[in-house]
Amino acid sequence: MRLLITGSNGLLGQKLTGLLAENPEVELLTTSRGKNKVAGIFPEVNFRSMDITRPEEVQAVFENFRPTHVIHTAAQTNVDICETEREACYAQNVTAVQYLVEACEKYNTHFTHVSTDFIFDGAAGPYDEEAAPKPVNYYGQTKLEAEEIVKKAACPWAILRTVLVYGIVHDYGRSNIVLWVKNSLEAGKTIQVVDDQFRTPTLAEDLAQGCWLAAQKSATGIYNISGEELLTPYQMALQVADYFKLDASLIQKTDASKFTQPAKRPPRTGFVIEKAKKELGYKPHTFQEGIGIVAGQI
């Protein structure tokens, strides 16, 4: 297998790199827009800078490496920035997927595309793979449009949808629910956390394993890859405080009518993951176990 990873500097990308760096089954090429952030940690892994919004860069990498499999993790994942910087978000989340799909079609490469619970309106979660999408923000719209491109592809493809990913990686700007709560409480800061949004939070290592299972099996179709527990951010925050023995009184319960963000969030998402468990052998950790894994890495 010659496996190309996009977005290898990101949360999922770094976890995939770690998972596959020493796997003898895989000839690995990691790619991201910037410089390789993990060159010092995985010096043996090949890296090439590739901006997926530049078709000539995508074509050159495919021509040279001829991947049999691609795991596509790169995206604009800042949901609020997507709302205001629509053109750039569209280029990263939609047009770039078209370029990658065209390249995969040319070489009959298996394409694993990572998508999101934000393609749904959050009226009736948890969702299975057959549920009807209806995004409530621009990020969700772009991710849905990308799915439509992938579904029409003339190469083998899998779409893996995931939810609220948490974990710790190297030299990384974006926070996530576990680190945000831990860091805030350690600094003695009060936080307002919603108790009327529902998610099945996903440990980044579990998502990486799900992507690897799909690529390894050349799986085709749509798979939900997330945690299994439906929790509100408030419930997650309490578990984080409890695990790290931090002051839970700093966590103030709020709701979406009082706590608003620039982009609307779907209230109740989360996924049913039976298909991935049965067909891929996917087995995620509990949220409690996930916090423990992150704690061990801090």
Q: How far is the CB of 114 from ligand TDO (least distance, A)?
A: 9
DSSP conformation letters of 150-207: HHT-SS-EEEEEE-SEE---SS-----HHHHHHHHHHTT--EEEESS-BB--EEHHHH
Does 200 participate in binding ligand TDO (rule CB under 6 A)? no
Does 239 participate in binding ligand NDP (rule CB under 6 A)? no
Does 135 participate in binding ligand NDP (rule CB under 6 A)? no
Greatest alpha-carbon span in the chain: 57
Q: Which does 52 bind (CB under 5 to 8 A by kind): ligand TDO, ligand NDP, none?
A: ligand NDP
Q: How far is the CB of 51 from ligand NDP (least distance, A)?
A: 4
> Which of 2, 27, 41, 51: binder of ligand NDP (CB under 6 A)?
51
> Which of 164/294 has CB closer to ligand TDO?
164
CB-CB contact of 220 with 169 (8 Å)? no
> Which of 12, 71, 89, 177: binder of ligand TDO (CB under 6 A)?
177
Residues in 223-242 at the binding interface with ligand TDO, rule: CB under 6 A: 233
What are the Cα distances from residue 62, in Å, to 4, 96, 123, 128?
Answer: 9, 14, 41, 34
Q: How far is the CB of 173 from ligand TDO (least distance, A)?
A: 13
DSSP conformation letters of 220-266: -EEEE-S-S--B-HHHHHHHHHHHHT--GGGEEEE-TTTS--SS---
Contact range with ligand NDP by CB under 6 A, out of 48-56, 212-220, 247-255, 263-271 = 48-56
Does 118 participate in binding ligand TDO (rule CB under 6 A)? yes
Kind of pairing between the strands at 221-224 and 110-116 = unpaired
Contact range with ligand TDO by CB under 6 A, out of 58-66, 95-103, 258-266, 274-282 = 258-266
> Which of 140/219 has CB closer to ligand NDP?
140
- Sorted by sequence, the CB contacts under 8 Å of residue 12 that are 6+ apart come out as 73, 114, 165, 204, 207, 208, 211
Closest by Cα among 104, 4, 10, 100 to 52: 100
* Residues near ligand NDP, by CB under 6 A: 6-7, 9-13, 32-34, 51-53, 73-75, 77, 92, 114, 116, 143, 162-165, 174
* Residues near ligand TDO, by CB under 6 A: 77, 79, 116-118, 163-164, 177, 191-194, 197, 233, 259, 261, 265
